Structure 1
Amino acid sequence: MVLLGLLIVWMPAILLALSLIVTRLTGCQVNEARAHPCRIAGIDIGGTLYTMMVMGWLVIPLLPFMALSLIGGAVAGVLALFGVRRR
């Protein structure tokens, strides 16, 4: 259940990063104004890249939850490092 929550919180940031990586690797153009054509292997993925990039706007309201997940992960890591177990 916790992993599902983390996936939901981090998905917009992952999609934004993935769209920017694909855009950089293919030389396509992507911005918030509109979907630009981007052909890869004869398939236009411009609309998909546009949608993935616009999902990045959801990062703004999810930032507090993303920060909490990072802090919680750091605390869990430190507790695991020192061998503290929950009962």
Structure 2
Amino acid sequence: MLLLGVPIVWTPFLLLVLSLVVARLTGCTVNEARAQTCRVAGLDIGGLLYTLMMMGWLVIPLLPVMALTLVGAAVAGVRALFGIRWP
């Protein structure tokens, strides 16, 4: 059940990164002020990029939980690396 929460917590950050990568690859401008026109293959994806980027605001309240997932992953990695077994 805990592992199900990790992708949910990290989804807003990944959507923010996805919007910035797509904007960079297509040569479009994306910012917080408003949706910019971005034509790709005849479709305007500016509104989609704007929506994806606005998901980044959800990262702010989720930062403590995201940090806990990183700490948990580091502990699990150290345990796996050294073969530590806890009851």
Indicate the TM-score class for this superposition, using the shorter chain for normalisation: over 0.9
Which structure 2 segments of 5+ residues have no match? none
Q: Is 1:20 matched up with 2:20?
A: yes
> In 2, Cα distance between the equivalents of 1:5 and 1:85?
24
Q: Does 1:62 align with 2:62?
A: yes
State yes or no: 1:71 paired with 2:71: yes
Q: Which residue of 1 aligns with 2:10?
A: 10
Structure 1 residue runs without a partner (length 5+): none
Q: Which letter maps to 1:53?
A: M
Scaled by the length of structure 2, what TM-score is found?
A: 0.94
Q: Which amino acid aligns with 2:46?
A: G
Give the C-alpha shift of residue 84 in structure 1.
1.6
Q: Which residue of 2 aligns with 1:49?
A: 49
Task: Give distance in 2, aligned partners of 1:53 and 1:81.
Answer: 37
